[in-house]
Chain A
Amino acid sequence: MGRVPATARGARLHLRTWRDDPWLALGLCLPALLILLIFHVAPALFVFYISFTRWNLGTNPVWIGLQNFSDMLRSPDFWHSLRVTAEFTVGNVVLSLALALAVALLITAVVRGRAFYRSAYFVPNVTPLVSTSVAWLWVFDPGHGLINSILGLFHITGPQWLGSTAWAIPAVTLFSVWHDLGFGVVLFLAGLTGVPRELQEAAQVDGAGTWGVFRHVTWPLLTPVTFLFLILATVASLRTFTQVYTLAQGGPVNATTVTTYYIYEQAFQFFHFGYGSAVSVAPFLIIAAVVAIQFRVAGRRVFYGR
């Protein structure tokens, strides 16, 4: 590209067009801005106010200071919901990561049918959660469900799944892994296309085995994608509500009452808006903390360079 003549450069500096008009910028952003400010930003600020009040259905809010927060920190139900959320999140993220990466590596290794496998593994992901989780109620049935029928073929008596306090969270996790697997596969496939084949081949020439190539070439180059996956999967897991509602309604005996379900219960079944708001500040803080921790860890571990 040639040098811009000095006169043209000067002329461009003085040329004022619609690109310099702040009113046009504001006007074009206004529809989006109004919706976001009124229905998302204002509520996000208002939730802090509500959390300092006692506000039940049909009453006016009464300022009670930090009462809701101290109630929350002393409530075993709140801590229980955090523990259930953590159990679900760890199981869901770890299983999804391992399976999605394995499937993506296999798809990258075959030559024909990549597009087919990618789409086919993605199918469960587009199904609405309510529709498929309703169908999975039957899959999980202890007597005649698909899973226990298959286990029965091997003379294994399957667990009660959604009817058991110990197996309800594993069941919800299993469903979630099944539903979301395709998303991780697509993400890792996109990441794997960015790993140069010459590097893998060079490592093979130098005597690295399949595991060695993966461990020392593919995996380090994949860390940015893995990091993105970890953040997205963790945040999505922390926010899970729909399948908990449709599969188990938080039960049995609160076994699947994740924090989002606890908020729902407090605010929209018992109509404790104030207390519910105090609890709903928790996901915000937890998600922010998790993302911050992951960024810190990633700062040391993620390989961005060439």
Chain B
Amino acid sequence: MAGRRIAFHALLAAGLVILLLPFWWVLAASLSSTSHLLSFPQSLIPQWHFAVYAAAWAAAPWARYFGNTLYISGVTVVATLVTSTLAGFALAYSRTRLAPILFGVIIATLFVPQETTLIPLYLLVARLGWINTYAGQIVPWMATAFGVLLMRQFLAGYPSELADAAAIDGATGLGFLRWVCLPNMKPALVTVGLFSFLGSWSSFLWPLLITDNPARRPIEVGLQTFVSENGINYPLYSAAAIITVIPVVLLFIWLQRYIVESVARSGIAG
């Protein structure tokens, strides 16, 4: 039995090496002065030449891109949390005949793929004058059916007698939400917030369509533009890619428990 466990650990470790090798190799190769001359496996040993990183950092307004992405994803997350909490709360506790109808309408939007609505959404946002704006990148994503659904399921897990008892004691709906539900909703808030943040940070097609001005471009579109503007220069690309990926990996290391458990709970990828 012990021997088998060691074999399993060896297999898992080998799989992990294969999975993480591309990260390491790209990092090491981009840190060597003459990466194109090096052959594998020597190229796995970094030489700590940061020149290409300095060049990559200087070649595009990365700070601006980061700022744009932080602003866009920050506002999107806060707005999504507010809209999902309010709607999820109403759908979990309302006894009216309206509630199932509203729930049905919101659930129906889950089944509309983004690719299908891309063209009309683009025409709508263009008509609103939102090309090259933050609004165009934020407003359409300020609510998600997934967020509402998750909040509703989470709150529906509580006994609804709790709400009746509070109502008898004179609590209003919003009072009950504020003082009873919210303090207990951390897991749901974290899940919806994280998915909204990761989705916003890595969204690509939509901002690609509606931004061509670096002043409003998010980091991922900025990186793609950088690549298409610089000819074939792998070390430079990779340095830029690593610059853009570092904050996300740090965030993951910090919040890995929450992220992984959120995925396991909800079955939705980041």
Residue of B nearest to A61 (CB): B123
* Interface-located stretch among A75-83, A180-188, A214-222: A180-188
* Interface-located stretch among B46-54, B178-186, B239-247: B239-247
Contact of B252 among A46, A126, A232 (CB under 8 A): A126
A123 and B20 contact, CB distance less than 8 A = yes
Q: Is B143 an interface residue, CB under 8 A from the partner?
A: yes
Q: Given that A17-B167, A19-B173, A31-B87 are contacting pairs, would A109 and B106 also be in contact in the complex, using a CB cutoff of 8 Å?
A: no
A139 and B22 contact, CB distance less than 8 A = yes
* Cβ contacts under 8 Å, A42 to chain B: 120, 124
* Cβ contacts under 8 Å, B55 to chain A: none
Residues of A125-164 whose CB lies within 8 A of B: 125-132, 134-139, 141, 144, 146, 149-150, 152-153
A264 and B164 contact, CB distance less than 8 A = no
* Interface-located stretch among A87-95, A279-287, A298-306: A279-287
* Cβ contacts under 8 Å, B173 to chain A: 18-19, 21, 24, 28
Q: Is A246 an interface residue, CB under 8 A from the partner?
A: yes
* Cβ contacts under 8 Å, B213 to chain A: none
Chain B 143-175 per-residue mask, 1 if CB under 8 angstroms from chain A, else 0: 101011000000000001001100110001100
Contact of B123 among A44, A129, A273 (CB under 8 A): A273
Q: Is A106 an interface residue, CB under 8 A from the partner?
A: yes
Q: Is A124 an interface residue, CB under 8 A from the partner?
A: yes
B8 and A110 contact, CB distance less than 8 A = yes
B115 and A283 contact, CB distance less than 8 A = yes
Q: Is B75 an interface residue, CB under 8 A from the partner?
A: no
* Cβ contacts under 8 Å, B59 to chain A: none
Q: Is A107 an interface residue, CB under 8 A from the partner?
A: yes
Q: Is A263 an interface residue, CB under 8 A from the partner?
A: yes
Q: Given that A22-B96, A134-B227, A135-B242 are contacting pairs, would A33 and B90 also be in contact in the complex, using a CB cutoff of 8 Å?
A: no
Q: Given that A106-B11, A126-B259 are contacting pairs, would A32 and B87 also be in contact in the complex, using a CB cutoff of 8 Å?
A: yes
Q: Given that A107-B12, A277-B119, A280-B115 are contacting pairs, would A31 and B86 also be in contact in the complex, using a CB cutoff of 8 Å?
A: yes
Q: Is B204 an interface residue, CB under 8 A from the partner?
A: yes
Q: Given that A106-B11, A123-B252 are contacting pairs, would A138 and B5 also be in contact in the complex, using a CB cutoff of 8 Å?
A: no
* Interface-located stretch among A165-173, A195-203, A236-244: A236-244
Q: Given that A24-B94, A134-B240, A263-B118 are contacting pairs, would A19 and B123 also be in contact in the complex, using a CB cutoff of 8 Å?
A: no
Q: Is A212 an interface residue, CB under 8 A from the partner?
A: no
Contact of A128 among B11, B96, B114, B220 (CB under 8 A): B220
Q: Is A293 an interface residue, CB under 8 A from the partner?
A: no
A198, chain B: closest CB distance, angstroms:
18
A32 and B25 contact, CB distance less than 8 A = no
A239, chain B: closest CB distance, angstroms:
6
Please report whether the interface of chain A is mostly helix, strand, loop or mixed according to DSSP: helix
Q: Is A190 an interface residue, CB under 8 A from the partner?
A: yes
Q: Is A103 an interface residue, CB under 8 A from the partner?
A: yes
Residues of B201-254 whose CB lies within 8 A of A: 201-202, 204-205, 208-209, 219-221, 223-224, 227, 234, 237-238, 240-242, 244-245, 248-249, 251-252
* Cβ contacts under 8 Å, B260 to chain A: 118-119, 122, 186
B264 and A19 contact, CB distance less than 8 A = no
Q: Is A52 an interface residue, CB under 8 A from the partner?
A: no
B139 and A183 contact, CB distance less than 8 A = no
* Cβ contacts under 8 Å, B190 to chain A: none
* Cβ contacts under 8 Å, B123 to chain A: 50, 273
Q: Is A253 an interface residue, CB under 8 A from the partner?
A: no
B10, chain A: closest CB distance, angstroms:
10
* Cβ contacts under 8 Å, A124 to chain B: 19, 23
* Cβ contacts under 8 Å, B25 to chain A: 139, 146
Residues of B1-37 whose CB lies within 8 A of A: 4-5, 8-9, 11-12, 15-16, 19-23, 25-26, 29, 36
Residue of A nearest to B99 (CB): A25
B39 and A149 contact, CB distance less than 8 A = yes
Residues of B98-112 whose CB lies within 8 A of A: 98-99, 102, 105-106, 108-109, 111-112
What are 19 A-to-B residue pairs whose CB atoms are below 8 Å? A19-B96, A24-B173, A25-B90, A25-B99, A29-B86, A32-B87, A36-B145, A41-B105, A47-B117, A50-B119, A106-B8, A123-B252, A129-B204, A130-B220, A134-B223, A135-B241, A138-B237, A232-B269, A283-B113
- Given A128-B220, A268-B122, A284-B116, 12 new contacts (CB under 8 A): A18-B172, A43-B120, A44-B109, A122-B256, A124-B23, A135-B245, A137-B237, A141-B234, A232-B269, A241-B204, A263-B118, A287-B113
Which 4 residue pairs are nearest across A and B when measured between Cβ atoms? A149-B40, A28-B90, A17-B167, A43-B120
